[in-house]
Structure 1
Amino acid sequence: MAHRTKGSKLFITVLYVVTSCSAVPISDLLDRASQRSDRMHSLSRTLTHELDSHFPPIGRMMSPRPSMCHTSSLQTPSDKMQTLQVSESDLLSLARSLLQAWLDPLVVLSASARTLPHPAQNAISNKIQELQEHSKNLGDGLDILSGKMGPEAQNLSFLPFRGGNEIGQDRISKLVNFHFLMSCFRRDSHKIDSFLKQLNDLLTDDSGFYSWPTKHFHEVYPRIYVGNAFVATNALRLRRLGVTHILNAAEGNSFMHVNTSAEFYAGTGLLYRGIPASDTDHYDLSVYFEEAADFIGKALAYKHGKGKVYVHCREGYSRSPTLVIAYLMLRQNMDVHTALAMVRQKREIGPNDGFLRQLCRLNQRLAAERKSWNK
């Protein structure tokens, strides 16, 4: 089982953008998965409590041990500390393997619930059907997610269920076996819920927000800096960094923008270009991709390849990294995953969902152009 490394940020970046290319924000996808798994686990707890309320004493003596569950052979982390050491791909694979292992047993439970000798038989039967629905929807969502994450996330452990279609012939055996299966499912649903919550937590900090940049600026590609307005308005500091060009991705005088211009840098020797972008999902930043790429390219070529460019917005988090990613795609022939991963490895960024979709469309266009050139 792989352990988490510094490659986690790269994994999250790739996962983040490929999900957005499907027009589904990663936060929404994992939130939905967590909600479904939480509901599934809650239902399993309710069901076992209802079964316990009318479980005969002899049944407790006859009930198999948890180690006899058909999923017990799957090695899973036993506590939160161990879970933190497991790679994201393995966490998803474990959750999918457990869900897959319960497809047939849930069918057996659903069929058996209709004739279960229990006072709450109707309620139990309805909840089992709801469990099946949540399990299927969750499994479908995780299958889509794993398909976007590469080979490691698609590994599945086969855990055959050999219990057959009947859970018992007499009243006691039916209750005992039904209770045993539900206890196993409750245990596994708790694991699934824990794994998915851990995956979701990887994308957020303690406050529940995406990780914020830890420094004012970072060099995300040789001689390309992405940063915030604080450094952008300090010409002396920029000159000390060796910066020759400034690209303001948030030019304007509102609270969402940075009010600089060519005149602001007059006499400093810094060459300026401004783009009046807003950090909203519906803003079309893609109309400036070529212009920004040209400016960055000229900056790097300045003085025989000695130039440095500082690309910024207010926080250096959404607008400015999006323009740098577009440059890497347009001028360095990177695909969207590679470009975004390269920037994300150097700086904590979070292009909004609209910008990510625009990068995905650019990726599709460039891929189509390359394909036509190769014909």
Structure 2
Amino acid sequence: MAAIDLCSPSFKSSSFQRFRGEKASICLVYGRALAKDNRKRAATCNASNSSPGGVRSGSRRSRMEDYNTAMKKMMRNPYEYHHDLGMNYNIISDDLVVGSQPQKPEDIYHLKEEGVAYILCLQQDKDIEYWDIDFASIAKSCSNVGVHHMRRPARDFDPNSLRSQLPKAVSSLEWAISDGKGRVYVHCTAGLGRAPAVAIAYMFWFCDMNLDTAYNKLTSKRPCGPNKTSIRGATYDLAKNDPWKEPFESLPEYAFNDIADWERKLIKDRVRELRGT
């Protein structure tokens, strides 16, 4: 089944039901071998079966355990990141891919083969250092194969940091999709919080969906638990900037799950104004 355009009328339909009931197919990529289920383009993929060099297995296991413990505590979801299985991602549409951090240059070559022309990284420097990723080699590989690399750092497990960084991150994503030279790969560390939140916010603000629809569409393809309140808060920040506005924290939980047409236009304009900042 062909990938769906996120902004197409068929994708926005409220009757859309997970590709008409088909189960999501999962494919594992070891090295450069890719087994694809042609019935399902929204596939979960795992690339780069080896771990970063120089990290002992015990240390690697401890890091994963510590990371997953923190993720469960702060995000309150059951999802886990398994660094030792390599980069993993989901094709969300013809122009958008969401996943975990590239771990080595070969991952960039693999993404290039998948049609990726832009990478949007949400990690801070300390995230990259924690996993002993050689970022210089990642950046060099991007340059070598013509992949445009962008960074919009947000603090991991911090909903306030995510809220404040979403507008600029979505601005970069919207620019890349509009530039149209290939797919955009959006990643954080695990690809379960910051990166999917950016993709969902883009779908909400630019694809005429409400938040619940955008959230469900992405999580039906990539099971994850991004912070919905952060997305609502960023939406509020963009749509309501008058000095007499009611504090976001005092609003009901459903506030800014949807927006009026004039609010969406205002948000689009303000997000686009952030390009290059």
TM-score by length of 1: 0.38
- Letter of the aligned partner of 1:229 in structure 2? Q
Is residue 247 from structure 1 mapped to residue 120 from structure 2 by the alignment?
Answer: yes
Q: CA deviation at 1:250?
A: 0.8
Q: Equivalent residue for 1:97?
A: none
Q: 1:349 aligns with which of 224, 248, 251?
A: 224
Give CA deviations for 1:238-281 in whole Å, capped at 9, x if unaligned.
11111000000113134279663784432221101112212223
- Letter of the aligned partner of 2:89 in structure 1? F
Q: CA deviation at 1:318?
A: 0.6
Sort the Cα spacing of 1:279 and 1:336 in 2 relative to 1 into closer, same or farther, 3 A: same
Q: 1:339 aligns with which of 200, 209, 214?
A: 214
Q: Equivalent residue for 1:220?
A: 92
Q: Which has the higher helix share?
A: 1
Q: What are the within-5 Å matches in structure 2 for residues 242-281 of structure 1?
A: 242-253=115-126, 254-255=129-130, 260=135, 263-264=139-140, 265-281=142-158
Q: Equivalent residue for 1:284?
A: 161
Sort the Cα spacing of 1:257 and 1:361 in 2 relative to 1 into closer, same or farther, 3 A: farther
Is residue 297 from structure 1 mapped to residue 174 from structure 2 by the alignment?
Answer: yes
Q: What are the within-5 Å matches in structure 2 for residues 1-375 of structure 1?
A: 210-212=78-80, 216-230=88-102, 233=105, 234-253=107-126, 254-255=129-130, 260=135, 263-264=139-140, 265-302=142-179, 305-351=180-226, 355-364=227-236, 365=239, 367=258, 370=261
- Letter of the aligned partner of 1:252 in structure 2? D
The secondary structure found in structure 2 opposite 1:316 is coil
Give CA deviations for 1:12-47 in whole Å, capped at 9, x if unaligned.
xxxxxxxxxxxxxxxxxxxxxxxxxxxxxxxxxxxx
RMSD across aligned C-alpha pairs, in angstroms? 3.5
Larger radius of gyration: 1
| Distance (Å, rounded) in 1 between the aligned partners of 2:139 and 2:200 | 28
- Letter of the aligned partner of 1:370 in structure 2? D
- Letter of the aligned partner of 2:91 in structure 1? E
Over the matched positions of the two proteins, sequence identity in percent amounts to 22
Does the aligned pair in 1 maintain the 2:119–2:149 contact within 8 Å? Answer: yes
Gaps of 5+ in 1: 1-5, 11-203
Q: Equivalent residue for 1:101?
A: none
| Distance (Å, rounded) in 2 between the aligned partners of 1:319 and 1:218 | 15
| Distance (Å, rounded) in 2 between the aligned partners of 1:347 and 1:278 | 21
Gaps of 5+ in 2: 1-16, 22-71, 240-255, 266-277
- Letter of the aligned partner of 2:156 in structure 1? D
The secondary structure found in structure 2 opposite 1:266 is helix
Q: Which has the higher strand share?
A: 2
TM-score by length of 2: 0.50
Sort the Cα spacing of 1:362 and 1:239 in 2 relative to 1 into closer, same or farther, 3 A: same
